Amino acid sequence: MQTILPHGGTLINRLVNQAEAADNASVKKVITIDEWTLSDLDCLAIGAFSPLTGFMNEADYRSVVETMRLADGTVWPLPVTLAVDPLVYADIQPGDRVLLRGEDGEDYAVLHVQSCYEPDKEREARQVFRTADQAHPGVKKLAQKPGLYVGGPVQVLKRPRPKRFAEYYLTPEETRESFARQGWKTVVGFQTRNPVHRAHEYIQKAAMEIVDGLFLNPLMGETKSDDIDSQVRMKSYLALLENYYPKQRVLLAAFPAAMRYAGPREAVFHALVRKNYGCTHFIVGRDHAGVGDYYGTYDAQHIFSAFEPGELGIQLLFFEHSFYCTACQGMATAKTCPHDASLHLTLSGTKVRELLRSGKTPPPEFTRPEIASILIEGLREQR
């Protein structure tokens, strides 16, 4: 049973068979890629980034930066690029085949070079992140990248092996098969880089009232240093699903990508990726993929008005900020609660992290006790 077409109409698969892998063993030029790039490569391999078949060539890169579209007009909001040191790799030319090797010494892919180009990183920062301030983690990461981009399709020889929770690293083909097997015609996707707190739980369950299933798809790639460790987060998701969700209506799977913190543009990116995994609906809450004060509270919802109705091919569910109301005695938003803000219990993620790091349990109206215990223990182990 087909629920929804992938972005661009075809689910990309860049993993090669053993014969093709052996044929590529003779490639001599080698680029060593970091963990961030390796996570992007994994997403390219399995089709999570469909319709991309590799790292962006110059035409696609410049079009995406300026218009949020690939050169052929297909909506795509974020650059997916391979940056290399121009002094070390000055001899790479279009037409070359280059081996992509991880920092672990493993050979992961062959890149068929289409273009080598110098990005305007300040322009990229201002367009993608809406700021050139290097206090922004996405801008800082961009500034640290080398100054030459190499683009072209990839043939992926193998996927990286996760250290833990490998059984949750499902491909879009596998998640689509799971949805079909369970008879889910409508599926809502939820992106998170944080442990699920009561506000998240509230909007997820509200969305579950109108669809067949929930796809909880936590990001497991690189995040900023003060975010909760991905392994600890995964343990918290498992505990939450075990105790508070109907098992037959939720699928948990890891999203290998790194976090960009690109706010509105990243919200569009997250929606399209979940469409590739087979979701028909996607939740966008307050400050989606935001950081600091760089974006307005609901900018990540407003950006979707830049596209024609139906152009993205996935239905967006916009939710307002939710809180626990002591008068209502439950979770609510400004749309459903008539009471004064003084009766609302709201804790910022920063405040919750401060409580957890001091070994204090946040109130149950904000975080389930089981989740708080896992987070406190995880932070203790990280010290």
Q: Is 159 a catalytic residue?
A: no
pLDDT of residue 24: 65
Q: Give pLDDT tens digits for 82-111.
A: 999 999 999 999 999 999 999 999 999 999
Q: With respect to residue 337, please indicate whether it lies within any of the assigned structural domains.
A: yes
pLDDT < 70 regions, the chain: 1-2, 18-19, 21-26, 348-350, 382-383
What CATH code is carried by the domain that includes residue 45? 3.10.400.10
Q: Do the domain assignments include residue 321? A: yes
> Do 109 and 190 belong to one domain?
no
The token duo for 232 is: 């600890």
For residue 193, indicate whether it is catalytic. yes
In a domain, residue 9? The reply is no
| pLDDT on residue 225 | 83
Identify the pLDDT of residue 9. Answer: 97
Amino acid, single-letter form, for residue 224: K
The CATH number given to whatever domain includes residue 264 is 3.40.50.620
Last residue of a domain, one of 101, 129, 156: 156
Whether residue 316 is contained in a domain is answered as: yes
For 330-378, how does the pLDDT look when each residue is reduced to its tens digit (9 = 90+)? 999 999 999 999 999 987 666 777 888 888 888 898 899 999 999 898 8
Range(s) of the domain holding residue 92? 18-156
Rounded CA gap, 107 and 31, in Å? Answer: 10
Query: Can you tell me the distance from the alpha carbon of 80 to that of 38, in angstroms, rounded to the nearest whole number?
Result: 12
- Which tokens in the block code for residue 366? 């904000």
Residue 13 lies in a domain: no
- Give the distance, in angstroms, between the CA of residue 35 and the centroid of all CA atoms in the same chain: 15
Q: What is the secondary structure of 217-262 as a DSSP string?
A: EEB-S---TTSPPHHHHHHHHHHHHHHHS-GGGEEE--B-PPP---
In the 8-state DSSP scheme, what is residue 342?
G
Structural domain ending residue among the three candidates 121, 156, 191? 156
Do residue 123 and residue 143 come from a single domain? yes
Q: Which of 119, 135, 156 is the last residue of a domain?
A: 156
**Residue 203: per-residue pLDDT:** 96
Q: Of the residues 14, 193, 286, 353, which is catalytic?
A: 193
